[in-house]
Amino acid sequence: MEKIGFIGLGIMGKPMALNLLKAGYSLKVYDIVAPAVNEVVAAAESSDVIITMLPNSPHVKEAVLGKNGVLEGLQKGAVLVDMSSISPIVSQEVSEKVIEAGAVMLDAPVSGGEPKAIEGTLAIMVGGPEDTFNRVKPVLEVMGGSVTLVGEIGSGNTTKLANQIMVAVNIAGMSEAMVLATKAGVDPEKVYQAVRGGLAGSTVLDAKMPLALEGNFKPGFRIELHIKDLMNALDTGHNLGVPLFLSGQVMEIMQALRVDGKAKDDHGGIIQFYEKSARTEVRRKS
């Protein structure tokens, strides 16, 4: 059984690491915000597979390429699996350094938020060599309900950006529609039940609408992190010559919420922007 080093124990990383422990894997864990960050190299030296689950591109570059980072202790033949959601270009840059060190990297971002991280049912999108993917797939399957190789290194994060665009636009659409229905005097819970079985139904709707009806915006995935993902999506789109009109609109909605002090709310809290604009609240009737 592979020995695993796990770096990054935030909202997502902690339950993911716990699921690996429950499955019987030997883990050395470190968190980037702790003093132990200077000992990250030790995790690499004693691990066959190193998993990073960090907030953004700079954090991954620092943890892997920085002083006392993963690269300094990386064993030849080891696998670095970066499960952070970062720029595909950065994934490719880090991978080049990892290959030079005699190891291999996969980019394997996830979708599903804290609930699915706890359940071990995340959707994991992987980029990298197929033989390496097959080697670590049993490890990934402990954390994910679906584990899919989508292409070469960087493809995982490109897929995650596409995922994040669809999720953000879905939540915004749900919010806009439900605020309209509520202000028109229709019970939003009944609207939800009426549409969820039809074409407008979605995993996003079923995950976020019940929480919105309770006014519960405790973070499973914070608005500030979704802003980061949409910024990476917009940068990638601009570099490729792909206009991302809807992504830009939802980004500005999220930026408005950030200014309003709601950056750490769940991204389902997008509905609060519409509620404030329309001066109405979408809540379950008592």
Query: Which phi and psi (to 5°) does residue 229 adopt?
Result: -65, -40
Active site residue 264: no
- What's the CA gap between 268 and 42, in Å, rounded? 38
Which whole-number Å values give the CA distances from 139 to 50, 147, 154, 160, 253, in the listed order?
A: 11, 10, 20, 20, 37
Query: Which phi and psi (to 5°) does residue 87 adopt?
Result: -65, 135
| 3-class DSSP state of 217 | coil
The single residue of 160, 208, 228, 262 carrying the catalytic annotation is: 160
| Beta-sheet pairing, 79-82 with 104-107 | parallel
Residue type at 107 in one-letter notation: D
Q: Is the torsion defined by CA of 126, 128, 129, 133 positive or negative?
A: negative
Residue type at 241 in one-letter notation: G
Residue type at 28 in one-letter notation: K
Any idea which residues carry the catalytic annotation?
160
